Amino acid sequence: MPAAPTDRPGAASTHARRPAANPWAVELRELGRRPGSMQELDRTIPAPADWRLELIGVPEGAPVHLRLRLESVMEGVLVSGDVEVPVEGQCARCLDPVEDTLELDVQELFAYPGSTTEATSEEDEVRLVEGERIDLEPMVRDTVVLALPLSPTCTEDCAGLCAGCGQRVDDLPADHSHELVDPRWAGLAGRFTTGAVADRPGDPEEN
Ligand SMILES: [Zn+2]
Ligand SMILES: [Zn+2]
């Protein structure tokens, strides 16, 4: 009998559908302030634009997957769990594209304003509960950006680019070389190089 109204999946949450709500904000009403109470949070949020270093970063809009546990403690809310985020960039040695997924552990206390933790910490060292909510974005951003490599590489032992011709050394045959060009081929090789970096021993035109 189709008497009962059909449940629409995804429409159950009451405050998640408010327009323009910050997706990184977590309301603490459900958790409450009783120490020991706990709440699980599993949420995927599109990455903001500025999570990056020079050579690598999180593409804007990429899915940031949070699997967190919120625990009410005396001083505030303890947030722990892991963050999974895709990163894209460029190999610092050969400039090839680099793709990876970072899985990072997080653990952080969001202190209540007026708590001992807040009073005894430097202002910029402590994250605070704001009203009845916490904002996860600065914590996750700091964790992700700190984990980004300054010099990402496509493989652990990427050999970079050939100083003579600018090609990836790993793509070149093992005997690739510019010093030992057979004199009989030197003229031919010269025609195929761009000139500036060509090393032509024995060229009579050379100063
Ligand atoms: Zn490389
Ligand atoms: Zn070369």
**Alpha helices, DSSP H, located in 41-199:** 116-119, 137-147, 183-192
- In this prediction, residue 188 carries a pLDDT of 63
Cβ < 5 A residues, ion ligand 2: 162, 164-165
CA 53 – ligand 2 centroid, Å: 30
Structure tokens at 26: 């977590």
Structure tokens at 74: 């005396």
Say if residue 49's pLDDT is above 80: yes
CA 161 – ligand 1 centroid, Å: 8
Ligand nearest to the CA of 89: 1
Structure tokens at 83: 């963050």
pLDDT in tens, 169-197: 999 999 998 875 566 666 665 565 554 44
- In this prediction, residue 66 carries a pLDDT of 98
Ligand nearest to the CA of 181: 2
CA 185 – ligand 2 centroid, Å: 15
- In this prediction, residue 119 carries a pLDDT of 85
Number of other residues whose CB lies within 10 A of the CB of residue 186:
16
Ligand nearest to the CA of 167: 2
- pTM listed for this prediction: 0.73
Quick one: pLDDT band at residue 207, thresholds 50, 70, 90? very low
pLDDT in tens, 104-162: 999 999 999 988 888 888 877 889 999 899 999 999 999 999 999 999 999 999 999 99
CA 164 – ligand 2 centroid, Å: 4
Structure tokens at 195: 């000139």
Cα of 161 vs its chain's centroid, Å:
26
Contacting residues for 112 by C-beta, under 8 A, at least 6 apart? 75, 76, 118, 128, 129
Cα separation of 68 and 80, whole Å?
Answer: 6
